[in-house]
Amino acid sequence: MKVTMLLFLLLGLVFTTLGSYYIFKSTRSSHRNRYRGTCSIPVRSSQRNLTEKVEIDDQMEVINVPKFDENDEATFIHNFEREVSVIKDDTDKVCYMLPLDTEKIPQPQGFLDIIYGLESGLYLLDPETIRSDYQVDHPALPKADIPFLYGDYIADACSNHTSYTLSERSFDLSTTTDIMIMFGKKYVVFPGGQFVLQYHIRL
């Protein structure tokens, strides 16, 4: 009887130890390569540096950009697994969804390499600013569709916001209709790489 109880106690200890190990291992692996910090770069059209708060892991980038010149404050979310980007405007309580531009937005590891290079003084960047014009697609996205289309992280981030998709288009500022883009929304972000991206959104 004593031998049986001792055996059960030993087995319980082994399973508890293994369970703790795998929980710890899972926690570490789910956060591997995670970076939280800031990134500051010069912008050619401004007298100031653009300073962002950045969080990066293997498949996701979250970039918090303060109000910068005429550009509004926003949080940019780049989900490389689903190949989508989100511009989250907490002031207007709006999320704008668009395809991830992999030609201008490098993979997370590439962004990390640039940040480490800037921190060490290895890189001196003078990125070009590229402007893109977008039109808001109506109606708003149903909240129930967002987890399936964009994943749980983005669904949670935009749970208290109205979400729209964006369509890229060109605007002719010489026309009465398209001059309204001047009264739309403007956002800017440095996502790593060679460019500062500026988004003009016609509401």
Which range, of 28-32, 99-103, 180-184, 188-192, averages the lowest pLDDT?
A: 28-32
Helix (H, G, I), strand (E, B) or coil at 173: coil
Pairing of strands 94-99, 128-136: unpaired
What residues make up the domain containing 166? 35-202
Helix (H, G, I), strand (E, B) or coil at 9: helix
| Cβ contact 40:49 at 8 Å | yes
For the stretch 89-143, pLDDT in tens is 999 999 999 999 999 999 999 999 999 998 888 878 889 999 999 999 999 999 9
Q: Which of 87, 89, 34 is nearest to 59 (CA)?
A: 34
Examine the domain organization and report whether 138 and 91 are in the same domain. yes
Query: Tokens 């087995």 sit at which residue?
Result: 11
Examine the domain organization and report whether 97 and 162 are in the same domain. yes
The total domain count for the chain is 2
Examine the domain organization and report whether 71 and 167 are in the same domain. yes
Examine the domain organization and report whether 50 and 22 are in the same domain. no
